[in-house]
Chain A
Amino acid sequence: EVQLVESGGGLVQPGGSLRLSCVASGFTFSDYNMNWVRQAPGKGPEWLSYINSSSNTIYYADSVRGRFTISRDNAKNSLYLQMNSLRVEDTAVYYCARNRTLDVWGQGTTVTVSS
């Protein structure tokens, strides 16, 4: 079964950091481009970042550029999102998703930024 499982969310104070992980199974992770997408409470999804299969092409949304860093470890079938300088408005469910079409999604991990 094709599956993505996120972890690493939690409660953090403004200005703090978190590192999210996404572990893939059921497909050859190293063949696929990957993304992070978030969804704030009661809002629509927001695409955040893309990394291609070999990590040599990376894109970010303006809202997170300079604060968040996407990376991957193909040997560990894992995708990461390092989040620094977190703001209250970063509170959301964070999903990893496969491919440019976002054809497979994880169940998400919740990040709450609050003092």
Chain B
Amino acid sequence: DIVMTQSPDSLAVSLGERASINCKSSQSVLYNSNNKNYLAWYQQKPGQPPRLLIYWASTRESGVPDRFIGSGSGTDFTLTISSLQAEDVAVYYCRQYYNNPWTFGQGTKVEIK
């Protein structure tokens, strides 16, 4: 199984500042034939299901604010919130959908400093 490891487990950022979350996969999730990284990011607020933010490592889902930016390739990925807003307080998960079983990272809790 591909193990997804996120860092840090939690972070506190001031409103308007940048927040960065890292995700590392135990093997590459880049499919060479189409040059796509099979990596997604989700946001989950208390009492709600996860919400898809980013897929193919850097493609923003429709309706997701452009302050959410996905980057990286191969085994190392980053979700950046360029200017943290109060409504961004949540737990964020990365997930690989390259190989079954599709696996999630352990989550990163983002709070306001």
Interface of A with B (CB < 8 Å)? 44-47, 50, 59, 61-62, 95, 97, 100-108
Contacts and interface: CB of A to CB of B under 8 A. Distances in A.
B101 A101 contact: no
B102 A45 contact: no
Contacts of B93: 44-45
Contacts of B40: 101-102
B68 interface: no
B72 interface: no
Given A45-B93, A47-B101, A61-B101, A103 B55 contact: yes
B45 interface: no
Among B40, B61, B101, B105, max chain A CB count under 10 A is at B101
Nearest to B49: A105
B85 interface: no
Contact of A62 (B42, B51, B101, B102): B101
Chain B contact patch, size range = 20 to 34
B49 A106 contact: yes
20 contacts: A44-B93, A44-B104, A44-B107, A45-B50, A47-B101, A47-B102, A50-B102, A59-B101, A95-B49, A97-B49, A101-B52, A101-B97, A102-B50, A102-B52, A102-B95, A103-B55, A104-B52, A105-B49, A107-B48, A107-B49
Contacts of B50: 45, 102, 105
Contacts of B95: 45, 47, 102
Given A102-B52, A107-B49, A47 B104 contact: yes
A66 to B, nearest CB: 14
Interface string B84-113: 000000010101010011111111000000
Contact of A101 (B44, B55, B105, B106): B55
B55 A44 contact: no
A50 B61 CA distance: 21
Among A95, A97, A105, max chain B CB count under 10 A is at A105
A103 B93 CA distance: 14
A2 to B, nearest CB: 11
